[in-house]
Structure 1
Amino acid sequence: MSGKPSLRAIARAVLVPLAAVSLTLGLTGCSSVDTVSPETARAEGAEAGSLGKARRGGSGAVDCEKAKCIALTFDAGPGPATPRLLDTLKKERVPATFFLLGKRHIERYPDTVRRIADEGHEVANHTWSHPRLTDVSDDRIREELDRPQRAIEKITGHRPRLMRPPQGRTDETVSKISKELGLAQVLWSVTAKDYETNDSALIEQRTLEGADRDGIILLHDIYPGTVPAVPGIIEQLKKQGFTFVTVPQLLAPGVPVPGEVYRP
Protein backbone atom coordinates (compact mmCIF):
# COMPACT_ATOMS: atom_id res chain seq x y z
CA MET A 1 0.00 0.00 0.00
CA SER A 2 1.32 3.46 -0.95
CA GLY A 3 2.42 5.83 1.80
CA LYS A 4 1.00 8.82 -0.10
CA PRO A 5 -2.07 10.50 1.43
CA SER A 6 -5.36 9.81 -0.35
CA LEU A 7 -7.37 12.48 -2.12
CA ARG A 8 -9.97 12.21 0.67
CA ALA A 9 -7.34 12.88 3.32
CA ILE A 10 -5.94 15.87 1.43
CA ALA A 11 -9.38 17.34 0.79
CA ARG A 12 -10.45 16.99 4.42
CA ALA A 13 -7.13 18.35 5.73
CA VAL A 14 -7.43 21.51 3.66
CA LEU A 15 -11.16 22.18 3.40
CA VAL A 16 -12.84 20.85 6.54
CA PRO A 17 -11.00 23.07 9.07
CA LEU A 18 -11.86 26.15 6.99
CA ALA A 19 -15.49 25.12 6.81
CA ALA A 20 -15.65 24.53 10.55
CA VAL A 21 -14.32 28.04 11.22
CA SER A 22 -16.82 29.48 8.76
CA LEU A 23 -19.69 27.67 10.46
CA THR A 24 -18.72 28.98 13.89
CA LEU A 25 -18.58 32.55 12.59
CA GLY A 26 -21.71 32.32 10.46
CA LEU A 27 -24.14 30.77 12.90
CA THR A 28 -24.52 32.71 16.12
CA GLY A 29 -24.81 30.45 19.11
CA CYS A 30 -24.10 27.28 17.15
CA SER A 31 -21.60 24.82 18.53
CA SER A 32 -18.52 24.34 16.39
CA VAL A 33 -18.88 21.24 14.22
CA ASP A 34 -16.90 19.98 11.27
CA THR A 35 -18.58 20.63 7.94
CA VAL A 36 -18.04 19.17 4.48
CA SER A 37 -18.03 21.43 1.44
CA PRO A 38 -19.53 20.38 -1.91
CA GLU A 39 -16.01 20.35 -3.35
CA THR A 40 -14.84 17.91 -0.67
CA ALA A 41 -17.92 15.71 -1.15
CA ARG A 42 -17.25 15.53 -4.90
CA ALA A 43 -13.60 14.67 -4.31
CA GLU A 44 -14.51 11.91 -1.89
CA GLY A 45 -17.10 10.55 -4.30
CA ALA A 46 -14.65 10.58 -7.19
CA GLU A 47 -12.04 8.72 -5.15
CA ALA A 48 -14.60 6.14 -4.05
CA GLY A 49 -15.77 5.65 -7.61
CA SER A 50 -19.35 6.50 -6.61
CA LEU A 51 -21.78 7.18 -9.41
CA GLY A 52 -23.62 9.59 -7.13
CA LYS A 53 -26.85 9.48 -9.09
CA ALA A 54 -29.32 11.82 -7.39
CA ARG A 55 -32.69 10.14 -6.91
CA ARG A 56 -35.32 12.14 -8.80
CA GLY A 57 -32.57 14.58 -9.62
CA GLY A 58 -34.69 17.04 -11.59
CA SER A 59 -32.32 18.34 -14.24
CA GLY A 60 -30.46 15.07 -14.80
CA ALA A 61 -26.71 14.51 -14.61
CA VAL A 62 -24.69 17.67 -13.99
CA ASP A 63 -20.93 17.78 -13.51
CA CYS A 64 -20.45 20.55 -10.95
CA GLU A 65 -16.68 20.30 -11.31
CA LYS A 66 -17.19 21.82 -14.74
CA ALA A 67 -20.51 23.65 -14.46
CA LYS A 68 -21.02 26.75 -12.32
CA CYS A 69 -23.54 25.14 -10.00
CA ILE A 70 -25.78 26.61 -7.34
CA ALA A 71 -28.55 25.02 -5.25
CA LEU A 72 -31.82 26.79 -4.58
CA THR A 73 -33.40 25.62 -1.31
CA PHE A 74 -36.64 26.49 0.48
CA ASP A 75 -37.38 26.02 4.18
CA ALA A 76 -40.44 25.65 6.40
CA GLY A 77 -43.08 24.97 3.76
CA PRO A 78 -45.08 23.99 1.99
CA GLY A 79 -47.54 26.85 2.18
CA PRO A 80 -50.27 28.51 0.12
CA ALA A 81 -47.73 30.11 -2.27
CA THR A 82 -45.75 26.90 -2.92
CA PRO A 83 -47.82 25.83 -5.97
CA ARG A 84 -47.07 29.20 -7.58
CA LEU A 85 -43.39 28.65 -6.84
CA LEU A 86 -43.57 25.19 -8.39
CA ASP A 87 -45.14 26.70 -11.50
CA THR A 88 -42.15 29.05 -11.82
CA LEU A 89 -39.60 26.27 -11.27
CA LYS A 90 -41.34 24.08 -13.85
CA LYS A 91 -41.44 26.88 -16.42
CA GLU A 92 -37.76 27.69 -15.89
CA ARG A 93 -36.72 24.01 -15.64
CA VAL A 94 -35.04 24.66 -12.31
CA PRO A 95 -34.76 21.88 -9.71
CA ALA A 96 -34.80 22.83 -6.04
CA THR A 97 -34.51 21.27 -2.60
CA PHE A 98 -37.44 21.68 -0.20
CA PHE A 99 -36.83 21.30 3.54
CA LEU A 100 -40.38 20.66 4.71
CA LEU A 101 -41.84 21.43 8.11
CA GLY A 102 -44.25 18.92 9.59
CA LYS A 103 -46.70 20.71 11.85
CA ARG A 104 -49.24 22.82 9.93
CA HIS A 105 -47.35 22.28 6.67
CA ILE A 106 -46.73 18.67 5.58
CA GLU A 107 -49.93 17.64 7.35
CA ARG A 108 -51.93 20.51 5.85
CA TYR A 109 -50.66 20.38 2.24
CA PRO A 110 -50.08 16.73 1.33
CA ASP A 111 -50.99 17.31 -2.34
CA THR A 112 -48.27 19.97 -2.58
CA VAL A 113 -45.73 17.66 -0.95
CA ARG A 114 -46.65 15.01 -3.52
CA ARG A 115 -46.29 17.51 -6.35
CA ILE A 116 -42.84 18.61 -5.14
CA ALA A 117 -41.67 15.01 -5.33
CA ASP A 118 -43.45 14.21 -8.59
CA GLU A 119 -41.88 17.20 -10.35
CA GLY A 120 -38.37 16.03 -9.56
CA HIS A 121 -37.38 18.24 -6.65
CA GLU A 122 -35.52 16.93 -3.60
CA VAL A 123 -37.86 16.50 -0.63
CA ALA A 124 -36.05 17.02 2.67
CA ASN A 125 -36.73 17.32 6.41
CA HIS A 126 -36.90 20.54 8.49
CA THR A 127 -38.24 18.93 11.70
CA TRP A 128 -41.83 18.68 12.87
CA SER A 129 -42.26 21.87 14.94
CA HIS A 130 -39.03 23.88 14.36
CA PRO A 131 -37.33 23.81 17.78
CA ARG A 132 -33.66 24.60 18.27
CA LEU A 133 -32.41 21.03 18.27
CA THR A 134 -29.41 21.97 20.40
CA ASP A 135 -31.77 23.05 23.21
CA VAL A 136 -33.96 19.95 23.50
CA SER A 137 -33.54 16.39 24.78
CA ASP A 138 -32.23 13.50 22.72
CA ASP A 139 -35.70 11.95 22.63
CA ARG A 140 -37.21 15.22 21.38
CA ILE A 141 -34.56 15.52 18.65
CA ARG A 142 -35.34 12.00 17.52
CA GLU A 143 -39.09 12.67 17.49
CA GLU A 144 -38.70 15.99 15.67
CA LEU A 145 -36.73 14.31 12.87
CA ASP A 146 -38.45 10.94 12.67
CA ARG A 147 -42.01 12.22 12.53
CA PRO A 148 -41.53 14.17 9.26
CA GLN A 149 -39.65 11.18 7.84
CA ARG A 150 -42.69 8.98 8.35
CA ALA A 151 -45.15 11.63 7.16
CA ILE A 152 -43.23 12.33 3.96
CA GLU A 153 -42.76 8.64 3.23
CA LYS A 154 -46.49 8.09 3.61
CA ILE A 155 -47.18 10.77 0.98
CA THR A 156 -44.33 10.24 -1.49
CA GLY A 157 -43.18 6.67 -0.88
CA HIS A 158 -39.66 7.83 -0.01
CA ARG A 159 -37.95 8.87 3.20
CA PRO A 160 -35.82 12.03 2.93
CA ARG A 161 -32.04 11.70 3.07
CA LEU A 162 -31.40 15.37 3.94
CA MET A 163 -32.40 17.57 6.84
CA ARG A 164 -31.78 21.19 7.80
CA PRO A 165 -31.64 22.00 11.52
CA PRO A 166 -33.73 25.06 12.43
CA GLN A 167 -31.58 28.20 12.53
CA GLY A 168 -28.66 26.03 11.44
CA ARG A 169 -28.07 25.00 15.04
CA THR A 170 -26.43 21.62 15.33
CA ASP A 171 -23.91 19.80 17.47
CA GLU A 172 -22.48 16.33 18.01
CA THR A 173 -25.72 15.00 19.52
CA VAL A 174 -27.83 16.24 16.61
CA SER A 175 -25.31 14.75 14.21
CA LYS A 176 -25.37 11.39 16.00
CA ILE A 177 -29.17 11.14 15.92
CA SER A 178 -29.27 12.33 12.30
CA LYS A 179 -26.89 9.53 11.42
CA GLU A 180 -29.12 7.00 13.18
CA LEU A 181 -32.07 8.19 11.09
CA GLY A 182 -30.16 8.19 7.80
CA LEU A 183 -30.10 11.97 7.46
CA ALA A 184 -27.31 14.25 6.26
CA GLN A 185 -27.47 17.85 7.44
CA VAL A 186 -27.43 20.76 4.99
CA LEU A 187 -26.64 24.35 5.91
CA TRP A 188 -26.24 27.27 3.47
CA SER A 189 -23.92 29.94 2.12
CA VAL A 190 -26.35 32.77 1.41
CA THR A 191 -29.70 33.84 2.82
CA ALA A 192 -31.88 36.81 1.92
CA LYS A 193 -33.24 36.94 5.48
CA ASP A 194 -36.69 36.90 3.90
CA TYR A 195 -38.21 36.31 7.33
CA GLU A 196 -37.56 39.97 8.17
CA THR A 197 -38.82 41.67 5.00
CA ASN A 198 -41.63 41.39 2.44
CA ASP A 199 -39.69 43.51 -0.08
CA SER A 200 -39.21 41.17 -3.06
CA ALA A 201 -36.65 43.49 -4.68
CA LEU A 202 -34.56 43.45 -1.51
CA ILE A 203 -34.82 39.65 -1.26
CA GLU A 204 -33.62 39.36 -4.85
CA GLN A 205 -30.79 41.82 -4.25
CA ARG A 206 -29.53 40.06 -1.11
CA THR A 207 -29.64 36.67 -2.84
CA LEU A 208 -27.74 37.85 -5.90
CA GLU A 209 -25.11 39.64 -3.80
CA GLY A 210 -24.30 36.42 -1.94
CA ALA A 211 -24.54 33.97 -4.83
CA ASP A 212 -21.35 32.13 -5.74
CA ARG A 213 -20.26 28.88 -7.34
CA ASP A 214 -21.15 25.81 -5.24
CA GLY A 215 -23.49 28.01 -3.22
CA ILE A 216 -26.57 26.90 -1.33
CA ILE A 217 -29.27 29.58 -1.25
CA LEU A 218 -31.68 29.62 1.70
CA LEU A 219 -35.16 31.05 1.12
CA HIS A 220 -38.60 30.41 2.61
CA ASP A 221 -41.67 29.77 0.46
CA ILE A 222 -43.98 30.79 3.32
CA TYR A 223 -43.26 34.54 3.39
CA PRO A 224 -45.13 37.01 1.14
CA GLY A 225 -42.10 38.58 -0.52
CA THR A 226 -40.19 35.43 -1.38
CA VAL A 227 -42.04 33.62 -4.15
CA PRO A 228 -42.44 36.83 -6.21
CA ALA A 229 -38.65 37.33 -5.97
CA VAL A 230 -37.79 33.91 -7.38
CA PRO A 231 -38.31 34.62 -11.13
CA GLY A 232 -35.87 37.55 -10.98
CA ILE A 233 -33.34 35.52 -9.00
CA ILE A 234 -33.47 32.70 -11.53
CA GLU A 235 -33.24 35.06 -14.51
CA GLN A 236 -30.24 36.94 -13.18
CA LEU A 237 -28.33 33.87 -12.03
CA LYS A 238 -28.87 32.19 -15.39
CA LYS A 239 -27.46 35.33 -17.06
CA GLN A 240 -24.40 34.95 -14.82
CA GLY A 241 -23.89 31.42 -16.11
CA PHE A 242 -25.15 29.47 -13.12
CA THR A 243 -26.62 25.98 -13.45
CA PHE A 244 -29.32 25.17 -10.89
CA VAL A 245 -29.08 21.80 -9.15
CA THR A 246 -30.50 20.00 -6.14
CA VAL A 247 -28.24 19.59 -3.12
CA PRO A 248 -27.47 15.92 -3.95
CA GLN A 249 -26.55 16.95 -7.50
CA LEU A 250 -24.22 19.59 -6.05
CA LEU A 251 -22.39 16.86 -4.11
CA ALA A 252 -22.22 14.29 -6.95
CA PRO A 253 -20.41 12.01 -7.59
CA GLY A 254 -20.38 12.06 -3.80
CA VAL A 255 -23.57 11.11 -2.00
CA PRO A 256 -24.99 12.63 1.20
CA VAL A 257 -23.56 10.77 4.18
CA PRO A 258 -25.89 10.43 7.19
CA GLY A 259 -24.68 12.49 10.12
CA GLU A 260 -22.38 14.70 8.09
CA VAL A 261 -22.94 18.48 7.95
CA TYR A 262 -22.68 19.98 4.47
CA ARG A 263 -21.97 23.67 3.92
CA PRO A 264 -20.17 25.63 1.16
Structure 2
Amino acid sequence: MKSFLAVMPFCLAFWGVVAAPSAASLERRGAQVFTKCTKPNTAALTFDDGPYVYMYDIVKALDAAGAKGTFFVNGNNYACIYNTDSVNRLKYAYDRGHQLASHTWAHKDLTTLSWDKIHDEMWRVEQALMKITGAYPAFMRPPYGNYNNLVLDASGIRGQSVVIWDMDSQDSMGASVQTSKNLYNNVANKHPSTILTLNHETIETTAHQVLPYAIQRLQSAGYKLVTIAECLGKPAYQSVNAPGIRDSSWKC
Protein backbone atom coordinates (compact mmCIF):
# COMPACT_ATOMS: atom_id res chain seq x y z
CA MET A 1 0.00 0.00 0.00
CA LYS A 2 2.72 2.47 0.89
CA SER A 3 4.52 1.94 -2.39
CA PHE A 4 1.29 2.55 -4.31
CA LEU A 5 0.59 5.75 -2.44
CA ALA A 6 4.08 7.01 -3.14
CA VAL A 7 3.65 6.75 -6.90
CA MET A 8 -0.06 7.49 -7.09
CA PRO A 9 0.24 11.05 -8.50
CA PHE A 10 2.50 9.86 -11.29
CA CYS A 11 0.26 6.92 -12.08
CA LEU A 12 -2.61 9.36 -12.35
CA ALA A 13 -0.61 11.53 -14.71
CA PHE A 14 0.09 8.50 -16.90
CA TRP A 15 -3.50 7.31 -16.94
CA GLY A 16 -4.94 10.79 -17.52
CA VAL A 17 -8.01 9.98 -15.43
CA VAL A 18 -9.38 10.78 -12.01
CA ALA A 19 -8.52 7.99 -9.62
CA ALA A 20 -9.43 8.30 -5.97
CA PRO A 21 -8.75 5.31 -3.71
CA SER A 22 -11.37 4.59 -1.11
CA ALA A 23 -10.90 6.68 2.02
CA ALA A 24 -11.63 3.62 4.15
CA SER A 25 -8.87 1.64 2.45
CA LEU A 26 -6.07 4.08 3.25
CA GLU A 27 -3.97 4.56 6.32
CA ARG A 28 -3.81 8.17 7.53
CA ARG A 29 -1.26 10.10 5.56
CA GLY A 30 -2.28 13.66 6.20
CA ALA A 31 -0.50 16.44 4.34
CA GLN A 32 1.77 18.79 6.22
CA VAL A 33 0.21 22.21 6.75
CA PHE A 34 2.36 25.33 6.51
CA THR A 35 1.14 28.64 7.88
CA LYS A 36 4.57 30.26 8.02
CA CYS A 37 7.76 30.29 6.02
CA THR A 38 10.76 28.60 7.61
CA LYS A 39 13.74 30.37 6.02
CA PRO A 40 14.68 33.45 8.08
CA ASN A 41 14.36 36.87 6.44
CA THR A 42 12.10 35.62 3.65
CA ALA A 43 8.65 36.83 2.69
CA ALA A 44 6.35 35.03 0.29
CA LEU A 45 3.85 37.04 -1.70
CA THR A 46 1.08 34.69 -2.81
CA PHE A 47 -1.88 35.33 -5.10
CA ASP A 48 -5.09 33.27 -5.24
CA ASP A 49 -7.89 32.71 -7.76
CA GLY A 50 -6.13 33.19 -11.12
CA PRO A 51 -5.08 32.91 -13.84
CA TYR A 52 -6.64 36.34 -14.33
CA VAL A 53 -5.97 39.46 -16.38
CA TYR A 54 -3.75 41.04 -13.72
CA MET A 55 -1.23 38.18 -13.69
CA TYR A 56 0.94 39.97 -16.26
CA ASP A 57 1.05 43.15 -14.17
CA ILE A 58 1.86 41.25 -10.99
CA VAL A 59 4.67 39.33 -12.66
CA LYS A 60 6.12 42.49 -14.19
CA ALA A 61 6.09 44.27 -10.82
CA LEU A 62 7.80 41.33 -9.12
CA ASP A 63 10.37 40.96 -11.90
CA ALA A 64 11.23 44.66 -11.81
CA ALA A 65 12.03 44.31 -8.09
CA GLY A 66 14.02 41.08 -8.45
CA ALA A 67 11.29 39.29 -6.51
CA LYS A 68 9.40 36.04 -7.02
CA GLY A 69 5.78 35.21 -6.25
CA THR A 70 3.50 32.19 -6.01
CA PHE A 71 0.19 31.85 -7.82
CA PHE A 72 -2.42 29.45 -6.42
CA VAL A 73 -4.59 28.93 -9.47
CA ASN A 74 -8.03 27.50 -10.17
CA GLY A 75 -9.13 25.47 -13.14
CA ASN A 76 -12.55 26.97 -13.72
CA ASN A 77 -13.35 29.88 -11.46
CA TYR A 78 -13.20 33.30 -13.14
CA ALA A 79 -12.31 31.68 -16.47
CA CYS A 80 -11.38 28.29 -17.90
CA ILE A 81 -7.72 27.49 -17.37
CA TYR A 82 -7.50 26.06 -20.89
CA ASN A 83 -8.57 29.31 -22.57
CA THR A 84 -5.78 30.68 -24.73
CA ASP A 85 -5.45 33.80 -22.57
CA SER A 86 -5.26 31.74 -19.37
CA VAL A 87 -2.67 29.39 -20.85
CA ASN A 88 -0.53 32.31 -21.98
CA ARG A 89 -0.69 33.92 -18.53
CA LEU A 90 0.36 30.73 -16.80
CA LYS A 91 3.25 30.17 -19.18
CA TYR A 92 4.33 33.79 -18.78
CA ALA A 93 4.59 33.45 -14.98
CA TYR A 94 6.06 29.95 -15.04
CA ASP A 95 8.71 30.75 -17.65
CA ARG A 96 9.91 33.68 -15.52
CA GLY A 97 10.50 31.52 -12.48
CA HIS A 98 7.37 32.29 -10.50
CA GLN A 99 5.72 29.33 -8.80
CA LEU A 100 2.39 27.81 -9.78
CA ALA A 101 0.40 25.81 -7.25
CA SER A 102 -3.07 24.35 -6.86
CA HIS A 103 -6.09 26.24 -5.57
CA THR A 104 -8.31 23.39 -6.83
CA TRP A 105 -10.57 23.28 -9.85
CA ALA A 106 -13.69 25.33 -9.11
CA HIS A 107 -12.95 27.03 -5.77
CA LYS A 108 -15.38 24.87 -3.79
CA ASP A 109 -15.22 24.52 -0.02
CA LEU A 110 -13.48 21.15 0.17
CA THR A 111 -14.77 20.48 3.68
CA THR A 112 -18.29 20.13 2.23
CA LEU A 113 -17.31 17.51 -0.36
CA SER A 114 -17.03 13.74 -0.44
CA TRP A 115 -13.70 11.93 -0.75
CA ASP A 116 -14.13 11.35 -4.50
CA LYS A 117 -15.19 14.93 -5.17
CA ILE A 118 -12.22 16.30 -3.22
CA HIS A 119 -9.89 14.27 -5.43
CA ASP A 120 -11.69 15.46 -8.55
CA GLU A 121 -11.26 19.11 -7.50
CA MET A 122 -7.55 18.49 -6.90
CA TRP A 123 -6.76 16.28 -9.87
CA ARG A 124 -8.42 18.36 -12.58
CA VAL A 125 -6.31 21.45 -11.88
CA GLU A 126 -3.15 19.36 -11.39
CA GLN A 127 -3.77 17.73 -14.77
CA ALA A 128 -4.26 21.13 -16.38
CA LEU A 129 -1.01 22.50 -14.96
CA MET A 130 0.87 19.44 -16.20
CA LYS A 131 -0.61 19.82 -19.68
CA ILE A 132 0.14 23.54 -19.86
CA THR A 133 3.57 23.69 -18.19
CA GLY A 134 4.69 20.10 -17.66
CA ALA A 135 4.98 20.71 -13.91
CA TYR A 136 3.14 18.73 -11.22
CA PRO A 137 2.54 21.07 -8.24
CA ALA A 138 3.88 20.21 -4.81
CA PHE A 139 1.64 22.64 -2.92
CA MET A 140 -2.09 23.19 -2.57
CA ARG A 141 -4.08 25.97 -0.91
CA PRO A 142 -7.67 25.00 -0.07
CA PRO A 143 -10.28 27.59 -1.03
CA TYR A 144 -11.20 29.87 1.88
CA GLY A 145 -8.33 28.26 3.81
CA ASN A 146 -10.79 25.53 4.87
CA TYR A 147 -9.60 21.97 5.38
CA ASN A 148 -10.35 18.90 7.47
CA ASN A 149 -8.73 15.49 7.92
CA LEU A 150 -10.26 14.23 4.68
CA VAL A 151 -8.72 17.12 2.76
CA LEU A 152 -5.35 16.60 4.41
CA ASP A 153 -5.42 12.89 3.66
CA ALA A 154 -6.33 13.54 0.04
CA SER A 155 -3.49 16.04 -0.31
CA GLY A 156 -1.10 13.74 1.49
CA ILE A 157 -1.59 10.77 -0.79
CA ARG A 158 -1.12 13.11 -3.74
CA GLY A 159 2.26 14.10 -2.33
CA GLN A 160 1.27 17.69 -1.69
CA SER A 161 1.67 20.05 1.24
CA VAL A 162 -1.06 22.50 2.25
CA VAL A 163 -0.20 26.20 2.47
CA ILE A 164 -2.23 28.77 4.40
CA TRP A 165 -0.85 32.22 5.45
CA ASP A 166 0.04 34.37 8.44
CA MET A 167 -0.68 37.79 6.92
CA ASP A 168 -3.88 38.61 5.00
CA SER A 169 -4.03 41.79 2.94
CA GLN A 170 -7.82 41.53 3.30
CA ASP A 171 -8.29 42.49 -0.34
CA SER A 172 -10.91 39.76 -0.81
CA MET A 173 -12.87 41.25 2.10
CA GLY A 174 -13.18 44.60 0.37
CA ALA A 175 -10.37 46.31 2.27
CA SER A 176 -9.41 49.70 0.93
CA VAL A 177 -6.02 50.23 -0.65
CA GLN A 178 -4.92 52.16 2.41
CA THR A 179 -6.07 49.41 4.76
CA SER A 180 -4.06 46.81 2.86
CA LYS A 181 -1.02 49.08 2.80
CA ASN A 182 -1.38 49.63 6.55
CA LEU A 183 -1.44 45.87 7.12
CA TYR A 184 1.81 45.48 5.20
CA ASN A 185 3.34 48.39 7.07
CA ASN A 186 2.27 46.95 10.43
CA VAL A 187 3.76 43.53 9.79
CA ALA A 188 6.98 45.06 8.48
CA ASN A 189 7.24 47.18 11.64
CA LYS A 190 6.80 44.08 13.82
CA HIS A 191 9.50 42.38 11.73
CA PRO A 192 8.80 38.70 12.33
CA SER A 193 11.46 36.29 11.09
CA THR A 194 9.31 35.40 8.07
CA ILE A 195 6.06 36.51 6.40
CA LEU A 196 3.62 34.48 4.32
CA THR A 197 1.03 36.72 2.70
CA LEU A 198 -2.39 36.22 1.14
CA ASN A 199 -3.44 38.38 -1.80
CA HIS A 200 -5.84 37.90 -4.70
CA GLU A 201 -4.81 38.10 -8.31
CA THR A 202 -8.32 39.07 -9.38
CA ILE A 203 -8.39 42.46 -7.65
CA GLU A 204 -7.15 45.39 -9.73
CA THR A 205 -6.09 47.56 -6.80
CA THR A 206 -3.99 44.71 -5.39
CA ALA A 207 -2.03 44.41 -8.61
CA HIS A 208 -1.62 48.11 -9.34
CA GLN A 209 -1.59 49.89 -5.98
CA VAL A 210 -1.07 47.55 -3.03
CA LEU A 211 1.56 45.26 -4.56
CA PRO A 212 4.10 47.98 -5.48
CA TYR A 213 3.86 49.29 -1.92
CA ALA A 214 4.14 45.81 -0.40
CA ILE A 215 7.23 45.00 -2.45
CA GLN A 216 8.95 48.24 -1.49
CA ARG A 217 7.98 48.04 2.19
CA LEU A 218 9.02 44.43 2.70
CA GLN A 219 12.30 44.79 0.82
CA SER A 220 13.16 47.96 2.73
CA ALA A 221 12.57 45.98 5.94
CA GLY A 222 15.22 43.49 4.82
CA TYR A 223 13.10 40.64 3.53
CA LYS A 224 13.94 38.62 0.44
CA LEU A 225 10.76 38.13 -1.60
CA VAL A 226 10.66 34.50 -2.69
CA THR A 227 8.34 31.70 -3.74
CA ILE A 228 6.63 29.38 -1.28
CA ALA A 229 9.07 26.65 -2.23
CA GLU A 230 12.05 28.89 -1.52
CA CYS A 231 10.71 30.19 1.77
CA LEU A 232 10.15 26.60 2.92
CA GLY A 233 13.32 25.13 1.43
CA LYS A 234 11.36 22.57 -0.59
CA PRO A 235 10.90 21.72 -4.29
CA ALA A 236 8.18 23.69 -6.05
CA TYR A 237 7.07 20.71 -8.13
CA GLN A 238 6.92 16.96 -7.69
CA SER A 239 7.96 16.45 -11.28
CA VAL A 240 8.74 18.59 -14.30
CA ASN A 241 8.35 17.30 -17.85
CA ALA A 242 7.70 18.72 -21.28
CA PRO A 243 4.35 20.52 -21.56
CA GLY A 244 1.55 18.89 -23.50
CA ILE A 245 0.22 19.76 -26.92
CA ARG A 246 -3.25 21.27 -27.11
CA ASP A 247 -5.90 18.74 -28.08
CA SER A 248 -9.62 18.13 -27.57
CA SER A 249 -9.09 17.37 -23.85
CA TRP A 250 -8.10 21.00 -23.17
CA LYS A 251 -11.55 22.10 -22.10
CA CYS A 252 -13.52 22.89 -18.94
Q: For residue 216 of structure 2, what is the amino acid of its counterpart?
A: E
Structure 2 CA distance for partners of 1:257 and 1:214, relative to 1, 3 Å: farther
The residue that corresponds to 2:75 in the other structure is 102
- Deviation, structure 1 residue 214: 1.8
The residue that corresponds to 1:118 in the other structure is 95
Structure 2 CA distance for partners of 1:248 and 1:194, relative to 1, 3 Å: same
Distance in 2 (CA, whole Å) between partners of 1:36 and 1:205 is 25
- Deviation, structure 1 residue 36: 4.9
In 2, are the aligned partners of 1:198 and 1:226 still within 8 Å (CA)?
A: no
In the TM superposition, what are the counterparts of 1:62-141 in structure 2 within 5 Å? 64-65=39-40, 68-103=41-76, 104-108=79-83, 109-141=86-118
In 1, are the aligned partners of 2:46 and 2:196 still within 8 Å (CA)?
A: yes
- Deviation, structure 1 residue 37: 6.0
The residue that corresponds to 2:134 in the other structure is 157
In the TM superposition, what are the counterparts of 1:3-42 in structure 2 within 5 Å? 35-36=33-34
What is the DSSP-based 3-state SS (H/G/I as helix, E as strand, rest coil) of the residue aligned with 1:80? coil
Q: Percent identity of the aligned residues?
A: 28
> Which structure 2 segments of 5+ residues have no match?
1-30, 239-252
Does residue 241 (structure 1) correspond to residue 241 (structure 2)? The answer is no
In 2, are the aligned partners of 1:197 and 1:225 still within 8 Å (CA)?
A: no
Does residue 220 (structure 1) correspond to residue 177 (structure 2)? The answer is no
Structure 2 CA distance for partners of 1:36 and 1:92, relative to 1, 3 Å: closer
Q: For residue 139 of structure 2, what is the amino acid of its counterpart?
A: L
Number of residue-to-residue matches in the alignment = 200
- Deviation, structure 1 residue 184: 0.9
The residue that corresponds to 2:247 in the other structure is none
> Which structure 1 segments of 5+ residues have no match?
1-32, 43-63, 259-264
Structure 2 CA distance for partners of 1:154 and 1:35, relative to 1, 3 Å: closer
Distance in 1 (CA, whole Å) between partners of 2:87 and 2:229 is 23
What is the DSSP-based 3-state SS (H/G/I as helix, E as strand, rest coil) of the residue aligned with 2:197? strand
Structure 2 CA distance for partners of 1:169 and 1:84, relative to 1, 3 Å: same
- Displaced runs of 4 or more, over 3 A: 33-39, 254-258
- Encode CA deviations 1:206-252: one digit per residue, 9 max, x unaligned: 23323533221000010122102101110111111111111111111
The residue that corresponds to 1:207 in the other structure is 184
Does residue 168 (structure 1) correspond to residue 145 (structure 2)? The answer is yes
- Deviation, structure 1 residue 199: 2.8
In 2, are the aligned partners of 1:72 and 1:97 still within 8 Å (CA)?
A: yes
In 1, are the aligned partners of 2:72 and 2:100 still within 8 Å (CA)?
A: yes
Distance in 1 (CA, whole Å) between partners of 2:42 and 2:128 is 31
Distance in 2 (CA, whole Å) between partners of 1:214 and 1:133 is 28
In 1, are the aligned partners of 2:184 and 2:217 still within 8 Å (CA)?
A: no
Q: For residue 214 of structure 1, what is the amino acid of its counterpart?
A: T
Structure 2 CA distance for partners of 1:158 and 1:36, relative to 1, 3 Å: closer
The residue that corresponds to 2:168 in the other structure is 191
Q: For residue 107 of structure 1, what is the amino acid of its counterpart?
A: Y
What is the DSSP-based 3-state SS (H/G/I as helix, E as strand, rest coil) of the residue aligned with 2:172? coil
In 2, are the aligned partners of 1:203 and 1:225 still within 8 Å (CA)?
A: no
State the TM-score, normalizing by the size of structure 1. Answer: 0.70
Structure 2 CA distance for partners of 1:127 and 1:37, relative to 1, 3 Å: closer
In 2, are the aligned partners of 1:198 and 1:223 still within 8 Å (CA)?
A: no
Distance in 2 (CA, whole Å) between partners of 1:127 and 1:102 is 7
State the TM-score, normalizing by the size of structure 2. Answer: 0.73
Q: For residue 250 of structure 1, what is the amino acid of its counterpart?
A: C
Q: For residue 215 of structure 1, what is the amino acid of its counterpart?
A: I
The residue that corresponds to 1:58 in the other structure is none
Distance in 2 (CA, whole Å) between partners of 1:256 and 1:81 is 22
